[in-house]
Structure 1
């Protein structure tokens, strides 16, 4: 008898525990992308290293994550759900333990890399499993849970980090995670079943090499662009190498009989459109989570904890609403939800272009929370619509592709928005004989306004693109046609 389970023969309790374990693992991975954001100065001081060296804590994590995500589709096709998740969460736990006990910086950095090697697998695996075990009619509700992971995780990271650093050492950022990893592994070992179809594709070493070099170089180039300058030789060589090698990787996948990552998913028009909208929305999401704490700390002189607390109400809003908007998607489809959400995001992002030295904590908190309300209507409904366009055999590839492009868009978007801050700051021309310190802060205000103007433009573009999504009735007909055979079996 096959160990592979299907959506209709799993008991409800077991299905719930499976999803809980997968969600917890993915949540810990996502939260670790921003958990160290406020801790970098503390770590820099503790190990007596430069700002550039400590920044590798973030850069190395994102690069490794970006390398692993494209490979995840191949791994999901080749290895069992249970074995792959236990390996991924195990790697994450080992990396966390290494970082927690590190006495020299290279060991700490190694811990982050090992952490990221597990993280890059968990979110695509979670999406693929949900697509496999949840019927099409209830998929929005299930994918709404992923919205909590994608949006709530990065937002809560700085707040949690700030609180821990107020009371404990930087090691607490890793030590507090270890018991959660242990519990998640126990639950997964007891209740996780193999629900994906194993196709046992052959390992194509060249594809793995091209993917690692291509995505790694590309993400590295963009991660240092805002610091080193877009015309820096390192940036130009890294991004140029990345683009060329990714092109070779795509060509390789198109000629392989069984590709490591299936690029033919883009033959589905709505999948492609929805992924572009999701990428644009994610840039807007990550941009605000990056820029607002910087504005509060560098310009308004708030503490890291205070800037993290400003993000907390918005994180709570999207955490509560994501499952609700998922259920609304099941009833009404993605188009109208996306249009409502993106209109709110566009307006509230534009309100951040009216910053000043008198901008209050309350103003930032309230506008950010309303903005996250809008994002909850746009993010996961659109992504669910994208994945629903694919036949079941390409679920793993669609999930991996979506997460890869999200990682790329987040890196590119952050680099562009931080660059706009620098450009806007340099463009400022003071019209008063103010003190150099005041002029410097006024210049930075202009810089952040420029960045939010760019973010507003992206949100508006996403709104326009959402107009071309299928209306609810047509979307439902297409999904039923694609999944007709699968749905009838349920």
Structure 2
């Protein structure tokens, strides 16, 4: 598990760490904002395309084969990115990194659900929840420190020792835990899945630059939705589908997917919007912003395994419902922010919110997958992981667009004050997130421990 968790941490750290350096990289590589944004968009896009395919790959190849492929892709991608002389090589490195993470995340969940009995999975998934939150949350803080003291290359260099540890540890200790079956990969399904998930993730990712009414955004999103519809129909008619959609026959699985969508939609957008609010409305430096968000992130990391064990002991509703309430309280406070909000309010609210997210995130996933029979685990994992990446990408794109629109509206109709405009935009975004968080509280009341 250590080998898988460390590799996953590096992949998720890389997902957000480079965001803080995009402006600097744009100057160094002489690339405009839209081009340089591809370092983030390309990462999301690769995950959206490849994660759905891993469900079938985990049935076709051994655990060790999948792990070694994952870790080698992460190492090669990191080396490419570190040594990149031109933008194209850096982008290629990012895409190779994302391909490694796209294999690692579903594989880690599959190993947990194969190795651990149902009454111990909460603790194991709690540690995975730590990894899922710690990587993206610590990325901007550590990257900000490295940028201030060294150079952008170190954002990648610091992860190489961790990846080498993971490689050696996995080589020595990781057994084959999955049952390999003779399954063929249906080319038509792969193409439809790629167009479907890729089209949606690309469409929403570029919407911030091009606008939601842009022919490119509307066209790629509609094509993606049509491809997904055809993909779904095709899966139901195949004897051995690439992604078994029979998982949706289980009501608890559908409930968990809805809650996961809302959680990741809100969480990934908050990781972008909250630092933007602090830098634009409160005029705080990037590294200081990272430090302000650090207590909540560290507390969440420290408590994640304990929360997982409490889930095993007391069941889902006792942990998940209070977690959703804490998240809603956090957004209720954030929805009232202005350009003069005290920093201690931001810090304490972030701590409350991260505790809530820690109670919801991994435990909803555990309960969602526990509701499936064992033979559906690879498909269920591929579906939940794909949903996370797609909902995260949609959340960032939609709420950044709302923030921008509200800012522009404020500047045009109320006052020419950029800090007030940023505060007004952030408050609107957090109000939308609050509504979704309240929906999650209501959904959590229907959650229960699966019978199987």
Tell me the TM-score normalised to structure 1 length.
Answer: 0.90
Q: CA RMSD in A?
A: 1.4
Question: Quick check: 2:6–2:166 contact (8 Å CA) kept in 1?
Answer: yes
290, 300, 308: which one pairs with 1:308?
290
- The structure 2 residue matched to 1:461, chosen from 418, 439, 445, is 439
Asked if structure 2 preserves the Cα contact closer than 8 Å seen for 1:333 and 1:385, the reply is: no
Alpha carbons of 1:91 and 1:429: their partners in 2 closer, same or farther (altered >3 Å)?
A: closer
Partners of 2:208 and 2:397 within 8 A in 1: yes
Matches of 1:333 and 1:168, distance apart in 2: 47
Q: Deviations over 1:91-146 (max 9, x none)?
A: 11101101111101111111111111111110100000000000111111111111
Displacement after TM superposition at 1:200 (Å): 2.3
- Output the CA distance in 2 between the equivalents of 1:182 and 1:274: 35
Separation of aligned partners in 2, 1:259 and 1:431: 54
Report matched runs for 1:244-393 at 5 Å. 244-393=226-375
Question: Contact 1:424–1:443 at 8 Å: present in 2 too?
Answer: yes
Alpha-carbon distance in structure 2 between the residues aligned to 1:210 and 1:264: 19
Deviation at 1:25, TM superposition (A): 1.0
Q: 1:125 to 1:431 in 2, by over 3 A?
A: closer
1:51 maps to which residue?
33
Structure 2 CA distance for aligned equivalents of residues 299 and 67 of structure 1? 36
Aligned residues: 452
Do 2:281 and 2:338's aligned partners in 1 also have CA atoms closer than 8 Å? Answer: no
Rounded to whole Å, the distance in 2 between the matches of 1:366 and 1:64 is 35
Counterpart of 2:419?
A: 441
Q: Distance in 2 between matches of 1:285 and 1:160?
A: 19
1:106 is aligned to 2:88: yes
Deviation at 1:430, TM superposition (A): 8.4
SS at match of 1:39: helix
8 A Cα contact 1:289 1:311, kept in partner: no
Aligned residue for 2:102?
120
Q: Quick one: distance in 1 between partners of 2:43 and 2:106?
A: 17
Match of 2:73 in 1: 91
* Alpha-carbon distance in 1 for matches of 2:156, 2:61: 29
Q: Distance in 2 between matches of 1:173 and 1:381?
A: 31
2:386 aligns with: 404
Q: Which stretches in structure 2 are left out of the alignment for 5+ residues?
A: none
Q: TM-score w.r.t. structure 2 length?
A: 0.97
Give distance in 2, aligned partners of 1:186 and 1:281: 34
In terms of mean alpha carbon deviation, does 54-63 or 331-340 score higher? 331-340
Structure whose CA Rg is larger: 1
Segments of 5+ residues of structure 1 without an aligned counterpart are 1-18, 483-490
Distance 1:228 1:174, change over 3 A: same
Measured in 2, the distance between the counterparts of 1:206 and 1:369 equals 46
Say if 1:287 and 1:455, in contact at 8 Å, map to a contact too. Answer: no
Q: CA deviation at 1:415?
A: 1.6
Kept after mapping to 1: 8 A contact 2:34/2:209? no
Is the contact between residue 54 and residue 382 of structure 2 (CA under 8 Å) also seen in structure 1? yes
> Which residue matches 1:190?
172
Please name the residue that 1:6 is paired with.
none
Structure 1, residues 217-259: CA drift from partner, whole Å, max 9, x if none? 1100001112211101110011011101111111111111111
Alpha-carbon contact 1:40-1:55 (below 8 Å) kept: yes
SS of the residue corresponding to residue 38 of structure 1 reads helix
1:60 aligns with 2:38: no
- Counterpart of 2:20 in 1: which secondary structure? coil
Structure 1 residue ranges (4+ consecutive) displaced by more than 3 angstroms after TM superposition? 429-432
Structure 2 partner of 1:211: 193
Separation of aligned partners in 1, 2:383 and 2:274: 29
Deviations 1:26-65 (A, max 9, x none): 1111111101110101111111111111000000011001
